[in-house]
Amino acid sequence: MKKKVLIGMSGGVDSSVAAYLLTRDYDVTGVTLLLHGNDDKDAKDVCQKLGIPHFSYNAEGEFQKYVIENFKSEYLSARTPNPCIMCNLHIKFGLMEKIAKERGFDFVATGHYSRLVSFEDELFPVRATFAEKDQTYALCRLSQKELSRALFPLGEISKNEVREIAEKLGLSVATKKDSQDICFIPDGDYAKYIEDREGVQPKGRFIGPKGEDLGEHKGLLHYTVGQRRGLGIAYSERIFVSRLDKEKNQVILGLEGSQCKTQITANAFSSVSEKPLPTEFSCLGKVRYNSPTSPCKVRFEEDKIIAEFEVPQRGVSPGQSLVLYDGERLIGGGFIE
C-alpha cells in the first residue's frame, strides 16, 4: 500500500507539478490553506485533472497570528522581516503537520525548490540543483521534527522543466505567473499595507554621512538598510541607508561601503540538527534570500551567534536571517540584530 502524502497547493505551477510528481510513488491529497483572501479554484482544477482528492482549510487566524502580526511588529520596530520564514515554520509545516497527523497522512509535501538528504542519521535541506530557484534560505528554522515527514519533489528540476511538465499535462496553471515575494500584499507596497492598519508613522530626519540634517523622511518603515533609490535626496556622492535609529526616529545615511558589514550578530539561532554544533566553525553564510553564500567563521557567545565574513556583506538588515550552510547543506539560521 502506498504511503499517504498531504501536499500544500497554492494553485501555482510549482505545487501543481510537485503534486503530479508525487502521484508516481504515493497516495496524494492536495490541500489549499486559505490564508489571506486567496481562493482554491486553480488548485481544485489541478487536482481534478490529476485525479487526486482536494480539500481546503481555513487558516486565516493562524496566518494572522504567526505571520502578519510578526510582519507588522518587526517593521514598526525598524526591522526588516522575512515573512516566508515564519510562514514555513508555523503554517506550511507547523499547521500542515498538525492537519496531516489528524487525518492520517504519512508525509507533508510542498513545492519548495530544495533537496532533502540524509547525513549522519538526520535529514537536511540541501540547495536545489538549479541554484537560481533555491529556496532553502526560507527553510532555515525547520527542525528534524518537520523534516522527518517532509518531501520536496522539485529539488532537482528547473523552473522551465516544471512549466514544460505542466504544459504536457494540460494544466491550466502552466503559464501562471509566480506569486509575489509578499503573498498577502499583491502590489508590494508593504508600508501602505501597514499604515492602513496601524496608522501613518511619524516622520523624522535624514542624517547624512557627516552628521548633517538632510531633510525629512516619510517614516522609518519606508526604508531598509542598503536602500539607495527612493530617498529623494540630492547629494554629491551616492548615499545609502546604513542604519535606522528607532529611538531618535532617524534614517542614517552613509557613503558606499557604509551599508556593508563583515561582522554580523544573530540571535534565536535554530539548528536543523539535534546534535550540538561546535562553539566555533567555518562555513558559508548568507544574509538575504537573494544574496550569494559567502565564507565566514562562526562562534557562539551565550545565546548569540557571531559570523565574521571574509567579504563584506551588503544590506545587512536587522530582522532578516543569517543563514548558514555546510557546503550545499543547510545548518540553520538566526535573526540578525
Q: What's the pLDDT tens digit per position in 157-201?
A: 999 999 999 999 999 999 988 876 788 998 889 999 999 999 999
CATH code at position 128: 3.40.50.620
State which H helix or E strand residue 125 sits in: strand 122-127
Whether residue 208 lies inside any domain: the answer is: yes
Same-domain pairing of 23 and 97: yes
How far apart CA 172 and CA 14 sit, in angstroms, is 13
Overall number of domains in the chain: 3
pLDDT for the residue numbered 178: 84
pLDDT for the residue numbered 179: 77
CATH code at position 293: 2.40.30.10
Same-domain pairing of 139 and 10: yes
How far apart CA 42 and CA 16 sit, in angstroms, is 9
Whether residue 182 lies inside any domain: the answer is: no
Q: Across residues 291-297, what is the average pLDDT?
A: 96
Selected catalytic residue, list 47, 84, 140, 183: 183
Extract the C-alpha cell encoding 8.
500544500
Same-domain pairing of 109 and 232: no
Least confident of 20-24, 84-88, 211-215, 288-292: 288-292
Selected catalytic residue, list 84, 87, 260, 296: 87
Q: What is the largest CA-CA distance in the chain?
A: 72
User: What's 135's DSSP letter?
Assistant: -
Same-domain pairing of 126 and 225: no
Same-domain pairing of 104 and 230: no
Same-domain pairing of 152 and 220: no
Whether residue 174 lies inside any domain: the answer is: no
Q: Does the annotation count 183 as an active-site position?
A: yes
DSSP letters, 14-45, are HHHHHHHHHTTTSEEEEEEEE-SS---HHHHH
Same-domain pairing of 9 and 49: yes
Contacts of 252 (CB under 8 A, 6+ apart): 207, 241, 242, 243, 244, 245
* pTM score of the predicted model: 0.94
Domain that holds residue 21: 4-169
pLDDT above 70 for 58? yes
Contacts of 47 (CB under 8 A, 6+ apart): 9, 19, 30, 53, 54
Q: Does the annotation count 84 as an active-site position?
A: no
pLDDT for the residue numbered 131: 85
Whether residue 180 lies inside any domain: the answer is: no
Contact 23, 48 (CB under 8 A): no
Q: What percent of the chain has pLDDT over 90?
A: 90
Provide the total of helices (H) and of strands (E) in the chain, helices listed first.
9, 17
- Among 255, 273, 291, the domain-final residue is 255
Extract the C-alpha cell encoding 260.
556593508
The C-alpha R_g of the chain, in whole angstroms, comes to 21
Extract the C-alpha cell encoding 266.
544573530
Whether residue 96 lies inside any domain: the answer is: yes
Q: In sequence order, what are the beta bridge partners of 243?
A: 252
pLDDT above 80 for 69? yes
User: What's 106's DSSP letter?
Assistant: S
pLDDT above 90 for 216? yes
Same-domain pairing of 20 and 158: yes
Same-domain pairing of 125 and 221: no
